[in-house]
Amino acid sequence: MRRPPAHLPTPPPAAGEVIPGAGPVDRSAPRPPEDTPRQPARYAPEWLRLREAADAAARAPETLGPLRDRLAGCADGFTVHDLGCGTGSMGRWLAPRLDGPQHWTLHDRDPYLLHFAAAGAPRTAADGSPVTVETRRGELARLTPAALRGAALVTASALLDVLTAEEVGTLAAACAGAGCAALLTLSVAGRVELSPAHPLDAPVAEAFDAHQRRGGLLGPDAVWTAVDAFTGHGATVRVCPSPWRLGPGEARLTAEWLRGWVGAAVEQRPGLRARARTYLAQRLAACAAGELRVVVHHSDLLALCRRPAGGDR
């Protein structure tokens, strides 16, 4: 789930039921300059930091071999564009797993998040080669082959499911036009498993999936829409599972995910509100007691677009 936790509507929650924002503020994190422009953020930095370890553990390692093979010909290094980079977790995971000099261009609409991403970017590749970064503020809708000229790789994490079919088509066309690879990880797959089971699991999951699809967003349909878009441009595509597996060691993340998952379901179907409050309280209690296990299914997609004529990417 990409979105920061959403919360149950009125009436006001009982004490401790809903934590404002996406979790406690990490006051040890570097702060951006005071004059950094702000706008309503899609995702709270605290939520993105909270989920980073689970994201790293979930991403499919099966994509790395074919990706390394693709990049092996870039003797002088390569350029990566990280779309919707947030606080930069994708770069922190991937750059140290690839050899060779790398230049990362970090894209996000929120300059506040771009500050965190640049400040926390890795500086060395797997073989000790340098990694450099720059930031670029902008929207995916403006992405063109020209904007990706010279890139070897486009990456994104938990992005596809918050796009429309048109935006996915734009992304696939831009990557195909530039002849670069695309590694798009952690898209929701529309399946959640909770143990022990509860009768309200399925209704909440169905309402959440409907919320993910609101306003023309793809939600759980994103990966297969992307497969069609990339293969339509002649790319070779591989899809691998990348589930979150949350147990007692991830209790804080599980609790915040639960609040967001149930909150989005109730926002979509207000008739669930009364039952959902009891359900959420029970699930949070089980989480706090170390008795809850959750598997949130995601998918990773690797698309290897045809190289440009005469290119070495």
Closest to 183 in 3D by CA, of 232, 240, 130: 240
Closest to 303 in 3D by CA, of 147, 173, 210, 141: 173
For residue 190, being part of any structural domain is answered with: yes
Per-residue pLDDT of the chain (313 residues; tens, 9 = 90+): 444 333 333 232 332 222 222 222 233 334 444 444 444 445 688 999 999 999 999 999 999 999 999 999 887 999 999 999 999 999 999 999 999 999 999 999 999 999 999 999 999 999 999 999 999 998 766 788 999 999 999 999 999 999 999 999 999 999 999 999 999 999 999 999 999 999 999 999 999 999 999 999 999 999 999 999 999 999 999 999 999 999 999 999 999 999 999 999 999 999 999 999 999 999 999 999 999 999 999 999 999 999 876 555 5
How many residues are recorded in the chain? 313
For residue 21, being part of any structural domain is answered with: no
For residue 268, being part of any structural domain is answered with: yes
CB atoms within 10 A of CB 267: 18
Separation CA 97–CA 119 (nearest Å): 19
For residue 96, being part of any structural domain is answered with: yes
Which helix (H) or strand (E) element contains residue 70?
Answer: helix 64-71
Amino acid letter, 290: G
Separation CA 301–CA 171 (nearest Å): 13
Q: Please report, for the domain that includes residue 212, its CATH number.
A: 3.40.50.150
Per the structure, the complete domain to which residue 102 belongs is given by 45-304
- Give how far Cα 10 sits from Cα of 48, 206, 270, Å: 26, 22, 11
Residues 6+ apart with CB under 8 A from 163: 140, 171, 217, 218, 222
**Structural domain total, the chain:** 1
